[in-house]
Amino acid sequence: MLNNKNVWILISGEFIAGLGMWLGVIGNLEFLQAIVPSDLNKSLILLAGMFAGLLVGPMAGRIIDVTSKKKVLLYSGAARIFSTGFMFLAIMQENIWWMVVYMVGIGLAAAFYFPALQACIPMIAKDGDLLTLNGIHMNAGTIARILGTVLAGILLVYISLFSLYSLAILSYIVIFICTLFLNFEEKITPQSNAAGKGGFKELLPLLKTLPQVVMGLFLFLIPTLFLGSFNLMVLKISELQNDPQIKSWLYTAEGIAFMLGAFLVKRFFDGKDPVKIMMTFSIVIAFTHLSLYFADLRIPAIISFAVFGFSAGAFFPVAATMFQTTVPREFHGRFFSFRGMLDRISFQVVLVCSGFFLDTIGFKNMVLCFGIVSIVLVAYFAAKQYKGTSQKPKLSL
């Protein structure tokens, strides 16, 4: 697998693009902290891009299934480069509305880019290598996240936000160039074109025959409760501890632990039921959320984020591999767009609720609420699994 040129392009591209994305994320948080005082308003601005991506999700799925996925990657990559230009206007004019335009553009590009990327992975690797490739791919993004957040924190001491976004757009240009060199076989037939026009109407009956996939989609709610409030929690923990540097420590601890989880999941869970693996780590994530009640203390906060990172690092590669191998390939574009839409909806709800709760009941009460909800959800899914309403497939990792 590692002799495959496409694999290296994909991994290096993910690293470079991730580096730029996280430079931008830290820049976004810094800009919002300086301009917008309300946590609720911050959350509304952050979800603008996700809402835009949600609207075009069905169309994106159809386009990915009936056209060249490489072209989708290139066009969405170009849109990402163009959209970043609006952030320069936001900085120069200190105008939050230009940032909203930037977030919408990035969200639209992501609605096409990431489902197309997930659909490409099974085309460049054998089924037996998918878990390994998904783990390596996610680790490349995680390393980029660690370096990006740490680098952004250091750079903001010495350079302006304008210069930080210049580095981000440079990375997007590099990944666009890397994508040009992808070379894999795509089979676009008249039958797949006709099937693709059916959109989600053909996907939903298929999902009824794949209960393990449906269970996997529902289990994504658990890490989403953590991830949806991730950036706002980092900001609030920084305020609680009166320590700006804790933001980088939290991102770094979570990122390193994520890589460790993604690295070890194949070694220890080879051939195990993927739904049981996902459920196990969902339970850990639920209790991790509760542990953030002590996040005003430096070490407990770092440990909580590290435990979450390890659990998510094991959870996501298993889920991605199960989806890629269980869902027929001619439905990959629509399925991953559908999954992306579910992620955005749940992410938006969690993000808005997080901002509202932080403004009203406070950080500690919020994490207790989210932790209890997570435990209730895990208990419900465990009960359904126990009753045998979902199948128990063996995943060959």
Q: What is the mean pLDDT of each run of 10 residues along the chain (397 residues)?
A: 75 77 78 77 75 78 81 89 88 86 86 81 73 74 73 77 84 86 68 53 77 83 85 84 80 84 73 79 90 88 91 85 80 77 77 82 88 86 64 47
Residue 241 lies in a domain: yes
Please enumerate in sequence order all residues whose Cβ is within 8 A of that of 223, keeping only pairs 6 or more positions apart, or say none: 282, 285, 308, 311, 312, 315, 316
Residue 91 lies in a domain: yes
Residue 203 lies in a domain: yes
pLDDT of residue 303: 92
Q: List C-alpha distances in Å: 195 to 112, 201, 221, 235, 328.
A: 19, 10, 29, 46, 12
The H or E element containing residue 138 is: helix 130-158
Residue 235 lies in a domain: yes
pLDDT of residue 306: 92
pLDDT of residue 393: 46
**Structural domain range at position 95:** 5-183+190-386
Please enumerate in sequence order all residues whose Cβ is within 8 A of that of 166, keeping only pairs 6 or more positions apart, or say none: none
Domain count along the chain:
1
Residue 173 lies in a domain: yes
Closest C-alpha among 81, 48, 109 to residue 168? 81
CATH code where residue 274 lies: 1.20.1250.20
Residue 245 lies in a domain: yes
Residue 377 lies in a domain: yes
pLDDT of residue 2: 62
Report the amino acid identity of residue 36.
Answer: V
Residue 397 lies in a domain: no
DSSP conformation letters of 316-339: HHHHHHHHHHHS-GGGHHHHHHHH
pLDDT of residue 307: 92
pTM reported for the whole predicted model: 0.69
Q: How far apart are CA 160 and CA 168, in angstroms?
A: 13
